[in-house]
Structure 1
């Protein structure tokens, strides 16, 4: 029989005589005697990395502790490590959409986990990224896991998305969740080990904004400790259901490489001449004096969504700190600014928020001088979504009217009607901005990948006008 697509039933949500690992949620399971060792990969974005929890461990520690208390041998695997727990590995990067996260799978499938827990898609909902195809894109993730060497029988626990108070995310969440539910049913029908960790058990909303999310965050996206514990409880139930149905198999063995013998005299290859030449004089041991310098400034953030940038807002000589901040109005953003003290001491002071005159997600924002005045302008490389069929490069120019002394950030003005500065449409990851010819103005580069290798082509910023003029491509500057 195919694996069940329901990780929680009505019976699972009622009290019983079984050992309770999450008694506050009335979630229970019986201890098992025939356990295989669990090698668990936590996969997703910021929530799975632990953002929102007081320790940075997130749901991973609650889940691991519950499984260990039941007697399971547990090893959390992944190429990344965050939080205070000792077994803290995972594969989850804040800000990733489904396709970006899939690109990181290669970093972790080599660990050959026999259980993969997934919470992914919140950023797709928030940014309105190809929502109608979220299920198809997630299925590509599942197939890449199962097609990896030694992982055809890996058990995947796919969760639905938890609530989010951003208007656009709240609108997209039901569609994505329904696609995920259908996906689990379909792949279970293909006799794959897959279970649903439904964050709305029995179709009822279980998470509350007041109790389960960070109160300091607007819009509410990341769960607090209680919210992470609830997520862990649902994953825990799903893993136990898979185990009770005999679906969890032992993790694959790691390959052992051939023994490598150290080099010894007489086995090297002649280089054809002397490779080490010098004066022949012993000038004694190199030494130098150093003075320990203190940390000049520290700022703690509750999450990392690739929201930080340095930008020369007031003068060409000093970098200021800018943070992308989403407001409570759907996809509206502002930029928090910490002004450099401009005295060589590197002190930063929070000043008024800044408006770039462009709405842009944090992955597409760039601060670079496009006009040659020594001040950084704002460039947004848009993200292709269901409404945008290509990625545009938009410019908003620093008006040079900022006043560091008066805590006033500069204003920015979009060039032309839309800000578009070059008639080129490409994937964001293939676009490079940089002053390639040394004239002080940012130029536009495009990476092309083909069967013959990789090439990079640049278009020169032709002058300081309302919209930077572009000439034809200079030439292919790099070829691999």
Structure 2
């Protein structure tokens, strides 16, 4: 083999190695940069829970325990309605999330807000998230029974309707397995304890894994 050909082969080999290293670094950077935005109300914020016991922290711990290097951002605001969420959505997008768990609507129902307004606000939020390239996992909510059957039917159908319209993943009821159980809720009967949050994480985790994969 002449000297010129040998140099060319060495140069080509070096270029291939360089590209492989760049690709590996890029893949590792993506894994480290994956961010999930927990965008909701007090149920997301960790109302009256010590630091580390709330939904975002427990979900992040579970994901990391399963080998996923993922950051879960707490974007929950206690008392927030869907109107409040819509108003602060652009601020939340500054974190540049890859996935959002959209958990809003409980306070709309508690205040008896017209379900048509709740639906419109959630519709706009899902649209805006998708326009920014954020994958949406919509977390459903159920209206309190004391508001009547008609209100309940209108409100409860919002989440499935929007999930179908926008072709996004739906977790049917965020408080599944926890709502109504005094052992899993604080003394207000509404907000989950640390143990209640753990059950929420257990049940929503398969949906989250499906979305990120």
Quick one: which of 163, 174, 177 aligns to 1:184? 163
State the alpha-carbon separation in 2 of the partners of residues 100 and 74 from structure 1: 27
Quick one: which of 134, 145, 154 aligns to 2:118? 134
User: Which residue of structure 1 lines up, in the alignment, with residue 56 of structure 2?
Assistant: 60
State the alpha-carbon separation in 2 of the partners of residues 111 and 226 from structure 1: 29
Give secondary structure in 1 for the equivalent of 2:136: strand
Quick one: which of 136, 139, 145 aligns to 2:129? 145
Deviation at 1:61, TM superposition (A): 1.7
Contact kept, 8 Å, 1:164 with 1:221, in 2: the verdict is no
User: Which residue of structure 2 lines up, in the alignment, with residue 103 of structure 1?
Assistant: 87
Query: Where does structure 1 lack aligned partners over 5 or more consecutive residues?
Result: 1-34, 78-89, 189-193, 245-480
User: Which residue of structure 1 lines up, in the alignment, with residue 24 of structure 2?
Assistant: none
If you compute each CA radius of gyration, which structure gives the higher value, 1 or 2?
1
Contact kept, 8 Å, 2:159 with 2:172, in 1: the verdict is no
Give secondary structure in 1 for the equivalent of 2:157: helix
Deviation at 1:55, TM superposition (A): 4.1
Check 1:61–1:184 CA distance in 2 against 1; reply closer, same or farther (3 A cut): same
User: Which residue of structure 1 lines up, in the alignment, with residue 75 of structure 2?
Assistant: 91
Query: What root-mean-square deviation, in Å, do the aligned CA atoms of Structure 1 and Structure 2 show?
Result: 2.7
User: Which residue of structure 2 lines up, in the alignment, with residue 239 of structure 1?
Assistant: 208
Matched, 1:206 2:174: no
Instruction: Give the TM-score taking structure 1 as reference length.
Output: 0.35
Check 1:209–1:171 CA distance in 2 against 1; reply closer, same or farther (3 A cut): farther
Check 1:75–1:141 CA distance in 2 against 1; reply closer, same or farther (3 A cut): same
- Count the aligned residue pairs: 182
Check 1:162–1:223 CA distance in 2 against 1; reply closer, same or farther (3 A cut): farther
Deviation at 1:138, TM superposition (A): 0.4
Comparing both structures, which one devotes a greater share of its residues to strand? 1
State the alpha-carbon separation in 2 of the partners of residues 169 and 66 from structure 1: 38
User: Which residue of structure 2 lines up, in the alignment, with residue 75 of structure 1?
Assistant: 71
The CA deviation string for residues 270-307 of structure 1, in whole angstroms up to 9 with x for no partner, is xxxxxxxxxxxxxxxxxxxxxxxxxxxxxxxxxxxxxx
State the alpha-carbon separation in 1 of the partners of residues 69 and 148 from structure 2: 37
Give secondary structure in 2 for the equivalent of 1:117: strand
User: Which residue of structure 2 lines up, in the alignment, with residue 155 of structure 1?
Assistant: 135
Instruction: Give the TM-score taking structure 2 as reference length.
Output: 0.74
Bigger relative contact order (CA 8 A; separation at least 6): 2
Check 1:56–1:131 CA distance in 2 against 1; reply closer, same or farther (3 A cut): farther
The CA deviation string for residues 423-454 of structure 1, in whole angstroms up to 9 with x for no partner, is xxxxxxxxxxxxxxxxxxxxxxxxxxxxxxxx
Check 1:172–1:94 CA distance in 2 against 1; reply closer, same or farther (3 A cut): farther
> 4+ residue runs of structure 1 moved beyond 3 angstroms?
52-57, 162-165, 168-175
